[in-house]
Amino acid sequence: MTPAPDDAPPAAAPRARRLRIAQPRSLQSRQLWAASLGLVAFLALAGYALDRAFQSTAQSGMRERLHSYALAYANSDFARDGSVIPPWDPPDPRFRRPGSGLYAQIVLEGSEWESDSAQGPQLPAGTMLPPGQQTFEGPLPVTRIDGRQGEVYRYGYGLAWGGSGEADGTGEIPYTVYILEDTTALGRQVAAFRAALWRYLGGAGVVLLLLQMLVLRWSLRPLRDVIDELKRVQAGAAAGMSEAHPRELEPLTESINAFIQSERENLERQRNTLADLAHSLKTPLAVLRTRLDSGTGEAELREEVDAQLRRMNDLVSYQLARAARSGHQLFAAPIVIEPQAEQIVVGLEKVYAAKGVLCEFEIAPEARFHGETGDLQELLGNLLENAFKWAKSRVLLTVAEAAQVPGRRPGLVIVVEDDGPGIADDRIGFVLQRGVRGDERVQGHGIGLSIVQDILKSYRGQLHVGRSQELGGARFEAVLPGGL
């Protein structure tokens, strides 16, 4: 029976879990495995390269040695019948000992001479080489004097004898000298070198691996310190991460601290919102209770209930709006400012159409707000509404990036100016208080600038109030610092 397509995911899930379990979960284990594999690969390549280099050097040394032996036999004389008269004293005593492993051959046209050491072993036959030509071959198969198979390296040197020992080109006798040496001695040298090489490389590998383990433990110690600090923060033993960390971990610890601080501020803001709401509702409720207890008439009571209900509705709406803005904004996506500002200004121009206020923009194209969209709308909305309320005919909105710290996102400066009466220096602190209006004759609740200050505080920003040099009215500058 063919399984349904819905059966496929459960069958694939155990395989994915097995693959995940097979992976090391520890950073130290991952780095140690990677370092070990890299070290083994390096030692293997180094050992192979050294071994090849030693073999090449040993073979080159053997070639030079066989070449010197061939020069000694190149001085051989020839009898009148063309037979070879070798040197009386061979260059090495092994040429006299049969089966010694070092052999000499002189190949002539139609004849051949071999050293005493070649009596018994079966050596590869040599061929005539042109005068001056040199060859180095091997390993070539041979049969040793005891019948066992072996291998030899062979060096050949083509020469010509002209009666006086020089090749003069007339009546010369061409011949070739071959010197052969068993590979046993070279094999023993290579084997001894390999044993020493891998012993030393293995010892060096163990030492380097232990050193790598110590280095990994030392280099990962800051991460363990971060984990310990996080556990202390979770247990309530510490208020946040300390600053004693390497540069590479500073962005992580700063982000953690910022997150902790943001969550604490959000919790504090929510508590304050509930406390403010409870405190604000106490007065309307007390008024209603007093009216009920005093036996007020039905018409007057109805009017009072309606007024107090509207007041409570405004208070609840405002506190809910504050609570909605208490979300996490540290890692929000950047928001383009101009479309948000245009939407707000279009609405304000309709509300204040009778005044004919014109709002101008000077917004840097690269400027971005890193936070919640609602916060940006509240920030721009309250500042612009305040400017429209007091302006005579002009409002100027300027947005630019603040001074940027390398490696961090840029800050933001929002400036709103109007051509109204402005604010006296001695009244700036008074106007920024919650519930205070610059002019009691103007409609409003006096909480717009307080909302702006609350938003800026949540972003660790600042609000500066002064007089506009360009328009002559009030100037509100909201500065948001660069992010992490």
CA distances from 241 to 262, 407, 409 (A): 14, 21, 22
* pLDDT on residue 415: 94
* pLDDT over threshold 90, residue 416: yes
Q: What is the pLDDT of residues 361-388, one digit of tens each?
A: 999 988 889 888 878 888 898 899 889 9
Of 436 and 88, which is predicted with more confidence?
Answer: 88
Closest CA to 187 of 101, 119, 105: 101
* pLDDT over threshold 80, residue 464: yes
Check residue 122 and report its DSSP letter: B
* pLDDT on residue 477: 92
* pLDDT over threshold 90, residue 228: no
Angle at 229 between CA 228 and CA 232, to 5 degrees: 90
CA distance 20 to 8: 19
C-alpha count within 13 angstroms, C-beta hemisphere, residue 168: 7
Of 281 and 94, which is predicted with more confidence?
Answer: 94
* pLDDT on residue 476: 92
Largest CA distance in the chain: 161
Total length of the chain: 484
Per the prediction, the chain carries an average pLDDT of: 79
Under the banding of pLDDT at 50, 70 and 90, the label for residue 283 is low
CA distances from 140 to 106, 126, 177, 181 (A): 18, 12, 17, 10
Q: H/E element holding 85?
A: strand 84-85
- Kindly state the average pLDDT of the residues 62-75: 87
The least confident of 3-7, 375-379, 405-409 is 3-7
* pLDDT over threshold 60, residue 16: no
Closest CA to 450 of 467, 466, 429: 429
CA distance 452 to 437: 14
CA distances from 346 to 259, 377, 384, 385 (A): 36, 13, 11, 11
User: What percent of the chain has pLDDT above 90?
Assistant: 11
CA distances from 63 to 154, 264, 416 (A): 9, 83, 92
**Bond from prior residue into 139 cis (ω within 30 degrees of 0):** yes
CB 475 within 8 A of CB 466: yes
Q: What is the pLDDT of residues 31-51, one digit of tens each?
A: 788 888 888 888 889 889 998
* pLDDT over threshold 90, residue 59: no
* pLDDT on residue 418: 92
Spelled out in words, what is the top-level CATH class assigned to the domain 334-480? Answer: alpha beta
> Global pTM?
0.47
Q: Helix, strand, or coil here: 106?
A: strand
The least confident of 16-25, 104-113, 297-306, 397-406 is 16-25
Q: Could you write out the DSSP letters of every residue in 445-475? A: -S-HHHHHHHHHHHTT-EEEEEE-TTTSSEE
